[in-house]
Amino acid sequence: MRRRTFLRTAGAGSVVALAGCTGNGDQNGTPSDTPQDGSSGDTQQNGTTTTGDPERTLTVATYSSFTGEDTAGNYLKSAFEDDRDDVTVEFEVPENGLNQYILQKQQGSNVSADMYLGLNTAELVRAEDELDAELFLDSRGDLDRADAIKSDLEIDPEGRAVTYDTGYITLVYDEDEVDSPATFDELLEPAYEDALITQNAQQSDPGRAFLLWTIADQGEDEYLDYWQGLLDNGVRILSDWEPAYNAYLDGSAPMVVSYSTDQVYYHGPDVDMSRHQVGFIEDQGYANPEAMARFADTDTADLALEFMDFVLQPEQQAEIAVKNVQFPAVEDADPGEGFSEYAYEPPEPVTHTYDELQGKVDGWIEQWARQIAGP
Amino acid sequence: MTADRTISRALQRAALPVGVAATIAVLLVVFYYPVGHVLVSAVREGGHLTIEPIRAVLTDPFYAGVAHHLFVDPLGVPAGVVDWIAAGFPSVRLGLFGFTAYQALLSTVASVLLGLPGAYVLARYDFRGRRTIRSLTLVPFVLPSILVAVGFRAMFSRRGLANDLLGAVGLGPVELLGTLQIVVLAHAFYNAPLVTRLVTTAWEGVDRRQVESARSLGASRIRAFLHVVLPALAPAILTGAVLTFVFTFMSFPIVLTLGGLDLATVEVWIYARVQSLALQEAATLATLETVLSLAFIYVYLRYENRQVTTRGGGQSLPRERLVAGWRSLFDPRRLAIAAYVAVVAVVIVGPLVSLLVESVTDPSGSFTTAYYEFLLARQSSGAVGTVRPMPAVINSLVFGAGTLLLAIPMGVVVAVVATRGGRGSRVAEAILTAPLAVSGIVVGIGLLLTFVFGTTVAGHRLVVTGPVAIVFAHAAAAYPFVTRNVAPALGGLDPRLREVARSLGATRLRALLEVELPVIAPALLAGAAFAFAISIGEFDSTVLLAEGVDSYTMPVALERYVGTRSLGPNLGPATAMGTVLLAVTAVSFVVIDRLGGRWEP
C-alpha cells in the first residue's frame, strides 16, 4: 500500500531496483519505458491496492465487436476493475483500426490511447513500414505470463506485440454437396468448379489469411498464377466474411473460407451439422493471432503492462476464448467443453512470420487485387 | 424611427453578402480545407510540386485502360484506332476509370427508366396515400448500404424471394449476387426514387394555364406535353440523371458489399489504398475522380441554365383519379401503371420488406423477437461502450434538425448566387456545389488528417470533433440538394414578381423571404427533406467524427451491431436496428412533408 505511493513519487529513482522484481529485465533497454516498469510485477503479485490513490485510467484501443455488452472486452474491463481498486478501463474504437494511430504518429500528434488490442501481424508490419518512430513499447520481456504463450502464435520477434488469442482460417463446407479438398491443387479441378466463396483480402481478415495461406503453399512467385486458376474455376470473392458466409448459407456455393470455430455458433440439438463441416486443406489451417501492444506515447505504461499480464491469466484466457470465439493464446487455459468440443484446431497451423511479411504483405495484396479487378 | 429603419435596411442589405460569406466560411472549414489537404498531397512530393503521381496513374493501363495510349504515345493513337477497326472492333480494355464510368452509365439509365414513371404517376394521378408515398420516396436514399445489401440479399439471393417467385413460374434460380446486374439494380434502388422525387416536384410546378393555352391553340395532348411539360421537366430529369451518374461514379459501399472485387470501381480502389495507407496514390485517384465529377456537374449546370423556363406561381396541373370505377382498371394506361408498380414492388419495395422480414426471422426461418429483445437489452445495459439504440435515434434526429438549420440558408444563398447570372456564376456555382462531386472517403480522410487529429492555425491548435463538427459536415454534404431544388424554381420565377416588390421599396432580402420563397415553397421543402435525409443516412464522416460514445447515429449503431461476434454470423440485430431507422426516417419525412404542406400556395 505504501509501496504504490512511494513508486509514484519516487519515480525513476526506484526503477533500477524494482526492475528485478518483474523477473526479466533484458527488454528494459529503452529509456521511455523504464520509468513505468516498476510497479507491474509487484502489484500483480500483491493484489492489493491503495484506497486513497487517485484514479488510474487505461485507455484501450480495440475493434468495435470487442466492446459492449456480452463481449470479451467488457468482461476484461469489469474483471480488471474489480481486481484492483481505483482503476478505470476505457475503450476507444477508431473506425479505421490501427491506421488511426499510425496516422496520428505520422502527423506528429500524440497517440490518444495507451494500448492497442486486436493487432495482427500484417498491421504490425504496416506500422513498421510506415513510421520512422516506434509506435509501440517492448512488453514481452516484462510480462510474467509471457512464457505461457504458445510459441507458434507469437507474432513479434521484437516483443512489442503479445498474442492473446487466435483464430484458424479454414474451409467450411457442406458435406452433402462436396468433399473437402485435400490439397490446394485439388481446388483447381472441375469437381470444385464454382464451389468456393472467399473474401476480399484488402479488407477482410479471413480473406487476407486465405490469400497468405495460398502464398505460403504456392510460393510468392506462383501465387498469382494459382489465383488465376481459382478464378478460371469460378471462385467468388465477396467483400467480407459476413456477406460471404451468408451467400454460403444461401446456397450460392458449397464451400466458404471461414473459421475453424464455426460450429461453436451452430451446434445444437436439432441442427444439421452437415452444413458446417470444417475442412483443413493440406491438413493445415492458417493461424491469425490477435495481439496487444502498448503505445510508446502512453503515460500509464505500468498499468498497461499489468493489464496485459491480467489478460494472459488462464481464467481470463478461457473467458476471452468463449466470448470472442477464438482459441486461447496460452497453454494452460481451459475454455470449457462447450467450446472445445466444437472448435477445431488444425493438425498443422501455418502462418507467415513478421520477417516474412515485412515490406511485402501490402504489395502481395495489391498485386492480387489488380489480378482480380483487372478491368 | 427613421434611424431604426435605416439600420434595419442596411442589415437586410448586408444579409445576403453575409450569408455568402458564412456559407463560404463553413465550406472552408468542413470541406475545402480538409479536402484540399488530401488533394494537395497528390501533386506534392518532398515539398515540390510534381505531376508524376498523376502521370503514373494516367499511363497505367490498369487505371486508364485503352486510354493510357493517349498519355503514353499520343501520336500513335490514330494508327491504333485504325488497327482496332481493321481487327474488327475487338473489345477494348476499359481500365478502372472506364469501367467505373460504364457501370455509372448503366446505373443512370436504369435509375431514370425506373424513376420517371413514378413521377408521372405521383404528379398526374390522385389516389389514397399519394402524399405519403411521395414523402416516402426519399427513404431508400438514406438507407445505409449494409442494410440495403441485406435487403437485396434477402430479395435476390439464391433462396431469396425473387428466386422463389421465378421458381413458382418454373424459371431460375438466377444467381445475382456478385454480378454487375445486382450492382446496377441496387444503384437504381437508391437513385430512382431520387429521380422520381425531383421530377415530381418539377411536374407539380408546371403551370396548368400554359398547358391549357397550348391545348386551346389546337395542340394535341402529346404536342402540349412535348412543348410545354417536357421542357419544364428537363432540368429535373437532367438533375436526377447527373446526380445519379456522379453518385454511382463514386459508388463504393454497394459495389463492395453486393459486387465482387472483379467489379471494383475507382472509389473502391481509393478505399483500399487508404486502408493500406498508400495515401498519395489514394489522393491521386481522388483528384482525378473529383476533376471528372466536377466536370460533369459544370457541364450540367451550364445546360440547366439554358433550360430554365419562365413560370410564375400558377396552378398545378389537375390530377386524374387513379381508380375511377373498376372498369378504369382495364384501360391501357392503368395496366401499364400496374405493370410499373409490379416492377417497383420487386426492385424497391421487395428489399425493404425482405429487410423487415429478416428482422423477425431466425437463421432457420422461423419467427423470432430475439433481435428486438437484443435492442432492448442494449438499451438497458449499463456496460461501458455499449451502443444503445435510443441515443442513436435521438442523435440522428438532433443532427438532422441542426443540418436543416444550416443547410437551408446555405442552400438558398447559393441558389440566389446561381440564379443571379452574370459572368462566372456557373463557375462559382460549380465550386459551391463541389461537395456533391467529392466522395465521402476523401472528405473523411481529410477531416481525419486535419481537425480530428488537430491542426495548427495561427499558433492555436484546433481540434474539432463531436456534434458540432458532425452537423457542419452533414450541412456541407446536404446543402447542394437544397440548392439543386431551389435554384431551378428560383430561376424559373417570373422576374416581374421580384421587381414589383423591389419597386415598392422591399429590400432584396425581403423580396426573397416574402415574395419569392413562398412561391417556391414546394421546391424548398423538397430540398429540406433531402437535407434531412442526407444527415440521417450519412455514415463516412459521422463515424470518423463521432469519437465519443455520445454522438453515434443510427447508421453508426447499425454498423456496430453487425460485428457482434457473440451472436455469430448474424445480421439480426442490425436488421432490427435498420427497421428502427426505417421507421424513424419514414415518419420524419411524412412529418416534414405534412408540416411543409401548410406553406403550399
pLDDT over 70 at A346, yes or no? yes
Percentage of chain B surpassing pLDDT 70? 90
pLDDT reading at B321 higher than 70? yes
**Distance between the two ends of chain A, CA-based, in angstroms?**
67
Per-residue pLDDT tens digits for B463-496 = 766 788 888 889 988 988 888 788 877 877 777 7
What average pLDDT does chain A have?
84
Average pLDDT over residues B385-405: 89
What SS3 class is residue B510?
helix
Estimate the crossing angle of helix A39-46 against helix A301-311, to 10 degrees.
50
Q: Span B540-557, mean pLDDT?
A: 76
Between B239 and B14, the higher pLDDT residue: B239
Q: Helices B521-537 and B572-597, interaxial angle, to 10°?
A: 160
- Chain B residues lying within 8 Å of A202, measured CB to CB: 261, 272, 275-276
Contact B385 A91 (CB under 8 A): yes
Predicted pLDDT at A41: 39
CA distance B558 to B386: 12
Task: Give residue B304's pLDDT.
Answer: 65
- Give the burial string for B25-52 (b: 16+ CB within 10 Å, else e): ebbebbbbbbbebbbebbbeeeeeeeee
Cβ atoms B61, A373 nearer than 8 A: no
B183-198 pLDDT tens trace: 999 999 999 998 998 8
State which amino acid sits at residue B382.
G
Sign of CA dihedral B537, B538, B544, B550: negative
Residue B157 is nearest to which of A73, A252, A266, comparing CB atoms?
Answer: A252
Torsion angle defined by CA atoms of residues A106, A109, A114 and A115, in that order, rounded to the nearest 10 degrees: -20
**DSSP-derived secondary structure for A138-184:** --GGG-TTGGGB-GGG---TTSSSEEEEEEEEEEEE-TTT-PPPSST
**Nearest CB to A102; choose among B277, B378, B383:** B277
**pLDDT tier at B422 (50, 70, 90 boundaries)?**
low
Higher pLDDT: B74 or A330? It is: A330
The residue ranking higher by pLDDT, A219 or A240, is A219
Q: Decide if B109 touches A, using CB distance below 8 A.
A: no
Residue ranges with strand state E in B449-490: 455-457, 460-462
Q: Which residue has the higher pLDDT, B160 or B525?
A: B525
SS3 content of chain B, % helix, strand, coil (to 5): 75, 5, 20
Cα distances (Å, whole numbers) of residue A226 to A189, A233, B155: 12, 11, 34
- Region B7-30: mean pLDDT is 79
Map out the domains of chain A with their CATH numbers.
Answer: 56-167+288-351 (3.40.190.10), 169-286+361-372 (3.40.190.10)
B553, amino acid identity: T
Range with the poorest average pLDDT among A4-13, A284-293, A351-360, B136-145 = A4-13
ipTM: 0.80
Quote the pLDDT of residue B424.
Answer: 67
For chain A, percent of residues with pLDDT exceeding 70: 85
Of residues A63, A58, A127, A60, the one with CA closest to residue A99: A127
**Nearest C-alpha neighbor of B193 from the set B352, B406, B317, B303:** B352
Give burial (CB, 10 Å; 0-12/13-18/19+) of B174: middle
**R_g of chain A computed on alpha carbons:** 22
- Cα gap A155→A121, rounded to integer Å: 6
Separation in Å, CA of A263 to nearest CA in chain B: 10
- Among B206-210, B285-289, B369-373, B592-596, where is mean pLDDT lowest? B592-596
Res. B572: pLDDT tops 60: yes
Residue bearing the bigger pLDDT, B232 or A298: A298
Most confident stretch, A263-267, B112-116, B283-287, B531-535: B112-116
- Range with the poorest average pLDDT among A84-93, A122-131, B217-226, B417-426: B417-426
pLDDT band at B298 (very low <50, low <70, confident <90, very high): confident
Do B524 and B471 form a contact (C-beta atoms < 8 A)?
no
Decide if pLDDT at B599 tops 90: no
Taking residues A136-156, report their average pLDDT: 93
Question: What are the grid coordinates assigned to B395, written together?
Answer: 442523435
* pLDDT of B215: 84
pLDDT on residue A28:
38
**How much is the pLDDT for A370?**
92
pLDDT tops 50 at residue A374 = yes
pLDDT tens digits, one per residue of B492-541: 777 777 778 778 877 777 777 777 778 778 788 888 888 998 898 888 77
Q: Which residues of B fall within a CB distance of 8 Å from A236?
A: 178, 260
Per-residue pLDDT at B396 exceeds 70: yes
Q: Answer yes or no: are the C-beta atoms of B238 and B305 closer than 8 Å.
A: no
Best to test chain A binding among B255, B560, B565 (most A CBs inside 10 Å): B565
Average pLDDT over residues B331-336: 86
* C-alpha to C-alpha distance for A345 and A340, rounded to whole angstroms: 9
pLDDT band at B258 (very low <50, low <70, confident <90, very high): confident
pLDDT band with cut points at 50, 70 and 90 for residue A10: very low
Which residue carries 484446431 as its cell? A345
Q: Are B235 and B307 in contact (CB under 8 A)?
A: yes
C-alpha cell at B75: 501520336
pLDDT, residue B191, reads 93
Segment A210-214 shows an average pLDDT of 97
Q: Quickly state the pLDDT bin for A12 (edges 50, 70, 90).
A: very low
B147-162 b/e (C-beta count within 10 Å ≥ 16 → b)? bbbbbbbbbbbbebbb
What integer pLDDT is reported at residue B461 of this predicted model? Answer: 67
Report the C-alpha gap between A353 and A350 in whole angstroms: 9
Return the top range by mean pLDDT from A38-52, A338-352, B63-77, B79-93.
A338-352
Average pLDDT of chain B, as a whole number: 82
B320-327: average pLDDT:
76
Q: Say whether residue B99 is in contact with chain A using an 8 A CB cutoff.
A: yes
- Among the listed residues A202, A199, A188, A196, the one whose alpha carbon sits nearest the alpha carbon of residue A171: A196
Q: Which residues have C-beta within 8 Å of that of residue A149, sequence separation ≥ 6?
A: A162, A163, A312, A329, A330, A331
For chain B, domains (ranges, CATH) are: 1-29+368-600 (1.10.3720.10), 48-87 (no CATH), 98-265+310-359 (1.10.3720.10)
- pLDDT tens per residue across span A15-66: 333 333 333 333 333 333 333 443 443 443 344 444 455 678 999 999 888 8
With H, G, I as helix, E, B as strand and everything else as coil, classify residue A349. strand
pLDDT-based confidence at residue B305 (cuts at 50, 70, 90): low
Indicate whether B239 pLDDT > 50. yes
Identify from A62, A63, A64, A323 which residue to disrupt to test chain B contact, counting B C-beta atoms within 10 A and taking the largest count: A64
Give Cβ neighbours of residue A169 (< 8 Å, ≥ 6 apart).
A206, A209, A210, A213, A257, A258, A259, A260, A285, A286, A287, A288
In the numeric block, the cell 486502408 is attached to B275
pLDDT of A197 reads: 94
User: What is the predicted pLDDT for the residue at B601?
Assistant: 38
Rounded Cα distance between B385 and B364, Å, is 31
Residue that wins the pLDDT comparison between A365 and B67:
A365
Dihedral sign from CA coordinates of B335, B341, B343, B345: negative
**Residue B423: predicted pLDDT:** 63
CB B174 within 8 A of CB B168: no
Model confidence, pTM: 0.82
Q: A51 vs B243, which has greater pLDDT?
A: B243
Neighbour-count burial of B229, counting CB atoms closer than 10 A to its CB (0-12 exposed, 13-18 middle, 19+ buried): buried
Q: B108-140 burial by CB neighbour count: b if 16+ within 10 A, else e?
A: bebbbebbbbbbbbbbbbeeeeeeeebbbbbbb
Mean pLDDT confidence for A232-240: 90
- Nearest CB partner across the interface for B260, out of A63, A238, A266: A238
For residue B201, pLDDT over 90 is answered with no
With a pLDDT cut of 90, the percent of chain A lying above it is 60
| pLDDT tens, residue by residue, A152-210 | 899 999 999 999 999 999 999 999 999 999 999 999 999 999 999 999 998 888 999 99
Interface A–B counts its CB contacts (< 8 A) at 155
Q: Does B383 touch chain A (CB under 8 A)?
A: yes
> Pick the residue with more confidence: A86 or B434?
A86
CA distance B21 to chain A (A): 31
Helical H segments across chain A, by residue range: 2-10, 15-19, 34-37, 39-46, 72-83, 99-106, 121-130, 205-218, 223-232, 241-249, 262-266, 301-311, 314-324, 337-340, 354-357, 361-373
Q: What is the pLDDT of residue A27?
A: 38
B174/A contact by beta carbon, under 8 A: no
Q: How far is CA A331 from the centre of its chain?
A: 16
Nearest chain B residue to A271, by CA: B364
The answer to whether B237 and B188 are in contact (CB under 8 A) is no
Treating both helix axes as pointing N-terminal to C-terminal, what angle do B230-249 and B95-124 enclose, rounded to 10 degrees? 140
More confident residue, B421 or B40: B40
Q: Which residue of A has its CA nearest to B560?
A: A64
Contact A236 B178 (CB under 8 A): yes
Between the CA of residue A191 and those of A95, A181, A245, A257, what are the distances in Å?
41, 9, 21, 17
Please indicate whether, in this complex, the C-beta atoms of B276 and A366 are within 8 angstroms of each other.
yes
Q: Is the Cβ pair B565, A91 closer than 8 Å?
A: no
> What local confidence, expressed as pLDDT, does residue B57 receive?
87
Helix (H, G, I), strand (E, B) or coil at B407: helix
Average pLDDT rounded to a whole number, residues B384-401: 87
Closest-CA residue of B relative to A323 is: B566
Average pLDDT of B551-579?
A: 77
